[in-house]
Structure 1
Amino acid sequence: MRKIAWAVFLFPALAFSQTLPKPFLNYTITGELDTAKKEFSGTCLIRLENRTPKALDRLVFNLYPNAFRNTNTTFMRESGGVKGQPKEFLDSGYLIVEKVTDGAGNNLAGQLNETIYTLPLRTAIGSGQTGTVELKFKTHFPRPVERIGWTKNGSFIFAQWYPILAKLDADGEFRAYPFHYLSEFYSNFADFDVTVTLPNGYGFEATGYPLRDSVIGGKRSFQFQAQTVVDFAAMAVPKAKSYSRIFQGVLVTFFGPKSNEAKLTEIFLAAESTLSYTARTYGPYPYKKLVIAEAPVGAGSGMEFPMFITASFANLPPLIGRLFFREIIVHEIAHQYWYQLVASNQFEEPWLDEGFTTYTTAEVLERYHSAHPIWATRLGYELSAVTFNTLFFQRFGIYDSLASKSWEFVTPRRLFSNMYAKTYLLLTTIKRHIGPLRTNVMLQTYYDKYRFSHPTGRDFLNVAKDFVPDSILTPLTKWLYGVPPVCDYAVGDFGSKKEKDKLFKGKIDLFNRGDFAFPVGVKVIFENGAVKETTWTGETKAVRMEVAGSAKIRSVEINPGRKLALETDYTNNFKAASGSKAGGWAQVLRMIYGMESITSWLTAL
């Protein structure tokens, strides 16, 4: 039996869109999965066009499954082992290169250092030339760990499962890293042509567009092709079900076990809202297919790959499971822009993809899936992404700089509180100072300039200079790259004295109780309802501000509306005159803030 590729009929000429830049790298992978041995055996033919000024006398590959080979690897030492894994987990994850030949048929021999495989070439690939090598390899799948693995029901997750050429920089140097416990990945854009043969009865979904599905002799072969992507991932599931919808011109497919209509509605609603927001805010999704695969328990709650995401929906808490369920899907689809298209270095600057994705996720959830947060406008308090990220950062992230490499963070919580929470608070502060529209244009400019390339944090800040005033961006940059200083402003005592011509002269004590100077707003409300707003630079530890008005001062608020989202304590931002109704509200809202802070703090444990 042979099936013709549906992509040709559904999306003529889209599988090979001419709008995508042509990468210098091409993979052709062909092989078969032995489900009993948990092994994939095949060949990986690599064609490389050298666009650097330097002749390449060696190639460097990442063989990531070797991180799970034994307890002595970098990953296992840093993680302390994988909790909950059975004894047979050890020595069960690896990738062996069995033979290598170049385009002239010469046999080559490489050297393996854990996960990094260095391959000297018989003939260097000169600048402007094209070279090929073919690697015969075998990948043994472990139990589900760090994305890759197999499950008891016979499912297989193909994640970082093949020999991956290390990132080749423009100067001709390879950028290869050991597989660290707290690191993700950094890869070249490439074209892929992948054929996987499985036992008949298996379903298969992957990055790219399916071109062939054939059954011969009790085996089933799938061929997929993808253009200009940074990785190729897949999942094989026995008796799998697929459910599809089209949103924003993208065929979205849920792949996994049989699902009920309510679950599918939630999945596709989250996908539609995310694709709608990102297309309108950043730019259209350049591919015409996206797979949401239900990953087995143990493979992580969610993971992003080009045109393919995984999400685990089992064992979610019954009360908050629905919200978490949506957030997983929204977050992983947002990653299609931040890393899969704007492919920053996840080893050295993880904040550029996780932080931007966290910000995008919060924007989508607030716009389309609001959980009706509690608002307390007198203090500017909100139970929202700002509150959670502030408390998570305050609890775990105050000791580190984002200049740290991913493997330099001491614990996962300290890594997450920085690359997720800290970056989110930075972008939110920018949005609250220059406005949502200008922020969107800034992010769209950054996306347009660096999609299908590999920007750094400095590249983003150079874009931001055109949108954010120096008075805002300069202190934010220091906060971003330094050990995060405490940011805490407070209102002290104030009073008013009647002067001539029925004017009242007021004096207000303001304090900078942290060690971070940032221009912050001050809002003064008088007894007759008049409002006066001004700005304090925060450059001194304290200041006595003088204001004049036609009535006594009723209340003072510093950092109104939480424009400075980096502040860690809002309870001292508001003060009302003795006997004022606003004073009673302030006490009540401080109690609310304290209760909600404790709740959010506990969720971060």
Structure 2
Amino acid sequence: MRLGSTFLRTGAAAVLLAAGVAVTADLLAGPDAAAPAPAAAAAPAASTDGIALAAPNAAAVQVASSQNAWGGARTGLEPTLSDRVVHYDIDATLDPVKHTVTGREKLTWRNRSSVPVKSVYVHLYMNAFEGAGSTFFTEKRQREGAFRSGVEIKEGEWGHIALRTVTQGEATVPWTFVHPDNGPATDHTVVRFDLPAAVAPGASTLLDIDFHTQLPRVMARTGYFGSFHLVGQWFPKIGVLELPGERGATAPRWNAHEMHLNSEFYADFGSYDVRISAPKEYTVGATGEPQGAPVEKNGMLTHRYVQGDVHDFAWTADKRSSKPMVETWTGPGSPNVTVTVLYPPEYAASAAPAMKAAKDSLTYFSNTLGPYPYKTLTVVIPPHNAEEAGGMEYPTFFTAEGYARVEPDLMNQYMLDFVTIHEFGHGYFYGLLANNEFEEPVLDEGLNEYWDLRMIRERGQQIHAASPFMRRIGITPSFDAFAAERTGTPRNDPADAPGQNAYDRLQDIGPVYSRTATLMRDLEARVGKEPMERAFKEYYRRWKFRHPSTADLRETLAEVTGQRAAVEAVFAQQVYAVTRVDDRVAELTSREQLPLPGTRQAGSNWVEDKQDDIDKRVEKEREAWKKANPKAKEGTGPYPFRTEVLVRRNGAAVPQLLTVKFADGSVENVRWDANESWHKFSWTKPAEAVSAELDPQRSHYLDVNKLDDSRTIKADASASRRWGMDVSAFIEYLLTLIATV
């Protein structure tokens, strides 16, 4: 998921604030729904098998998973890429006028545990949009400011998913709505099926489910606008049964959280065989590989898509789509990949740039993390007024952003590229690594943001922040992507650890993106770019098609970089906790060490050195020294200089380098790694100091203020003028943007 987009929604607000700019139904019924199963209950009851649910406040795991978690690391010798736990066989029919999907689902689930399972938990995510009483909308009301771009659902635009029948064999399955996170009783996004026949250890069960989904007007991730339909989280989807040694579990437990405002999804790997019926004039795209030509019947075309080793399935249908753009890509270790871009006529200019960014992403992620294992990739550009469907990821399928004009010197070129790269990147961190996005969004949104910005950096791509007027007069400031990301994270008063869960956050979800990307960039600067990349390649190798935890990432980074102390310190300070980083050069003095007045012993006598006599002697010695050293640099002379630098620390101890430059061209470098609030360094040298700078290599982007990292002996306003021009240019661009949306 892109945070609308990440930089503009976080960095923009931070810069504006710094500049002083103010920033301010019945589920089971419906017009076409059948009568609900009579066993459905309104109040939760205890599970019949005693298997607990994950805690409502579960967050980043601190204990590494066992080596055989999720069946152990995949070697490539197994018959399937993942250990397939679930299989979905679904028939879905779209009514594009009523914006409904009628579905029949055969859900096959395997019990991996050593205990019989009598109850299973199923997500009904679409019920987040059934009304204002859902957990999603309850949290939205409590949120300050607009959610994403601020689109609201109006009367007649709500969505829901209704269970019509659920059976196991010939027996009806009763269900109960439950609230794993203690959400409101009016939330219906998690349901428990109490099975007539328990599922024995190692055995599988088949559930037949008839359901009816009403799509909402798209305001977040899924829905319709006009003839455009993005159909995501549209079918009953089983939760994850975690076993001891997996993500900190010590006993079998179900992980099935409510649909929160900011959280996304978590599911088992499996296989999908989905048949989608839509009017024949509609262009359809979906997760997975199309199976032959669509079959026509009664004016409808049925499209069949099959995909194994994924944990979700989404699709789109629109009668306004232009002819799809289709190209191929291949890379070492990957199959030939068919890349398809679906786009509306008004955003035709975005199709080719989106294709290029997608193929570039395939190359970069395959080279830096590991081969892309699937044969398809579908990019969907939503139409005008359906932008809230943009920036969303599903396996082999994602939505990007569209623009009527895309030019290199316009901000929209960067935004189109970045959102495409970002959503593709989710295919690795959310898709192939498949972390729990409810509890550990740092592993998806955070790591993905970091890896996306690495790709942007490798491309040499800058953020251009110039309005048309500024370009006409020749002012075209640009920003490095990591530097821009830094502005979007709370640094002075951070409240939420990046490892906190997605929904229980004081400062919202934005810092998961920006602070994680920044702290990982800082860790890379500390341990080295090449070791960091090797470590992430190993993380991907070990944990693809499994479900790693934060602790599993920590252990891989520590082991492969060979810098365990550094990695563990960063995770303790900035992942499991959140700590202010604020080091600065508080004082810089460099004083000539002249003779001083007073008395001194000369033989048996005491002689007084008077100030007037000292001044005359100093003047004479300076004149003589200048004659002897006619090309001497300013700041040097016959007397030494004592230089003192006072550094202050108001936050976490981070390894710092202090560089002091002197008038004679010499340089002193000293480490400051101690956990202390201040330190004073001093040198006596034959030259005056020119400047003192902490972190000259810019290793610590989490630092509150990089402008106070350095001082000069003589006043120099060039830096403040440059930063002032850049910030004002950036603010002008943002105000222009705000005026046009």
Q: 1:494 to 1:470 in 2, by over 3 A?
A: farther
2-structure distance, mates of 1:543, 1:96: 65
Aligned to 1:144: 218
Structure 1 residues 460, 367: CA separation in 2 closer, same or farther (over 3 Å shift)? same
Is 1:473 paired with 2:587? no
Aligned to 1:10: none
Matched residue of 1:271: which SS? helix
Does structure 2 conserve the Cα–Cα contact (< 8 Å) formed by 1:351 and 1:418?
no
Deviations, residues 82-117 of structure 1 (Å, cap 9, x unaligned): 854453345x31111111111x32121211341111
Residue 122 (1) aligns with residue 122 (2): no
Give, in angstroms, the shift of residue 175 of structure 1: 0.8
Q: Which residue of 2 aligns with 1:8?
A: none
Instruction: Verify: 1:105 aligned to 2:170, yes or no.
Output: yes
Tell whether the 8 Å contact from 2:90 to 2:105 is kept in structure 1 after alignment: yes
* 1:496 Cα deviation from its structure 2 partner: 5.7
Which of 339, 350, 369 is the aligned partner of 2:430?
A: 339
Aligned to 2:282: 202
In the alignment, which of 73, 82, 85 is matched to residue 21 of structure 1?
Answer: 82
- Tell me whether 1:88 sits opposite 2:149 in the alignment: no
Q: Deviations over 1:48-72 (max 9, x none)?
A: 1211122111111000111111111
Which of 373, 379, 393 lines up with 1:292 in the alignment? 379
CA deviation profile, 1:3-60 (whole Å, cap 9, x unmatched): xxxxxxxxxxxxxx95612411111001311222222112110111211122111111
Contact 2:347–2:402 at 8 Å: present in 1 too?
Answer: no
Among 237, 249, 255, the residue aligned to 1:175: 255
After TM superposition, give the deviation of residue 312 of structure 1 in Å.
3.0
1:495 aligns with 2:590: yes
Do the aligned partners of 2:463 and 2:479 also contact (CA within 8 Å) in 1?
Answer: no
2:508 maps to which residue?
Answer: 415
Paired with 1:135 and 1:521, the residues of 2 have a C-alpha distance of 62
Q: Which runs of 5+ in 1 are unaligned?
A: 1-16, 375-380
- Measure how far apart 1:483 and its partner are: 3.6
Determine helix, strand or coil for the equivalent of 1:178.
coil
Q: Following the alignment from structure 2 to structure 1, what is the Cα–Cα distance between the partners of residues 463 and 191?
A: 51
Q: Give the SS at the match of 2:430.
A: coil
Q: Which amino acid aligns with 1:163?
A: P
Unaligned residue ranges in structure 2 (runs of 5+): 1-77, 179-187, 244-250, 331-335, 466-476, 595-637
Give the residue type in structure 2 aligned to 1:574.
S
Counterpart AA for 2:510 = S
Contact kept? 1:207, 1:234, Cα under 8 Å? yes
TM-fit CA distance, 1:462: 1.2
SS in 2 for 1:197: strand
Cα distance in structure 1, aligned partners of 2:568 and 2:396: 37
User: Residues of 2 paired with 1:236 and 1:257: CA distance?
Assistant: 11
Find the aligned partners of 1:61 and 1:316 in 2 and give their Cα distance. Answer: 43
Paired residue for 1:515, among 629, 633, 651?
Answer: 651
Per-residue deviation, 1:166? 1.0
Q: How many Å separate the matches in 1 of 2:490 and 2:670?
A: 28
**Do 1:39 and 1:141's aligned partners in 2 also have CA atoms closer than 8 Å?**
yes
Amino acid at match of 1:203: T
Q: 1:206 to 1:301 in 2, by over 3 A?
A: closer
278-287 vs 540-549, which moves further: 540-549
**Residues 340, 192 of structure 1: alpha-carbon distance in 2 compared, 3 angstrom cutoff:** same
Deviations 1:305-343 (A, max 9, x none): 100001231589994222111111011011111111111
Q: Which amino acid aligns with 2:726?
A: E
Distance in 1 (alpha carbons) for counterparts of 2:302 and 2:212: 18
* Contact residue 230 and residue 306 of structure 1 kept, 8 A: yes
* 1:416/1:148 CA distance change after superposition, 3 Å: same
For 1:63-462, what aligned pairs fall within 5 Å after superposition?
Answer: 63-80=124-141, 84-85=151-152, 87-89=154-156, 92-102=158-168, 104-113=169-178, 114-152=188-226, 154-170=227-243, 171-212=251-292, 213-240=294-321, 241-248=323-330, 249-258=336-345, 262-296=349-383, 297-314=386-403, 319-368=410-459, 370-371=461-462, 383-394=479-490, 398-410=494-506, 414-462=507-555
- TM-score, structure 1 as length reference: 0.88
How far 1:475 moved relative to its partner?
3.5
Identity of aligned residues (%): 24
Cα distance in 2 between the residues matched to 1:539 and 1:382: 36
How far apart, CA to CA, are the structure 1 residues paired with 2:657 and 2:517? 21
What is the one-letter code of the residue matched to 1:99?
A: T
Number of residue pairs aligned between Structure 1 and Structure 2: 571
| CA displacement, residues 432-491 of structure 1 (integer Å, 9 cap, x when unaligned) | 122211111111111111111111111111112121634533432223322432423225
CA distance in 2, matches of 1:27, 1:196: 13
SS at structure 1 position matched to 2:440? coil
Q: Please tell me the residue identity of whatever aligns with 1:94.
A: H
More displaced 10-residue stretch of structure 1: 511-520 or 200-209:
511-520
C-alpha change, 1:367 and 1:71, in structure 2 (3 Å) is: same
For 2:664, what is the secondary structure of its paired residue?
Answer: coil
Letter in 1 for 2:543: Y
C-alpha RMSD over aligned residues: 2.9
> Deviations for 1:242-273, whole angstroms, at most 9, x for unmatched residues?
11112233221101324777533311221122
TM-score w.r.t. length of structure 2: 0.72
- State how far apart, in whole Å, the 1-side matches of 2:586 and 2:698 are: 14
For the residue of structure 2 that corresponds to 1:459, the secondary structure is helix
Higher relative contact order (CA 8 A, sep 6+): 2
CA distance in 1, matches of 2:731, 2:497: 21
Superposed displacement of residue 506, structure 1: 4.3
Higher strand share: 1
Determine the C-alpha separation between the residues in 2 that align with 1:455 and 1:235: 30
Residues 505 and 444 (structure 1), Cα distance of their counterparts in 2 relative to 1, 3 Å cut: farther
Give the distance between the partners of 2:119 and 2:214, measured in 1 at CA: 26
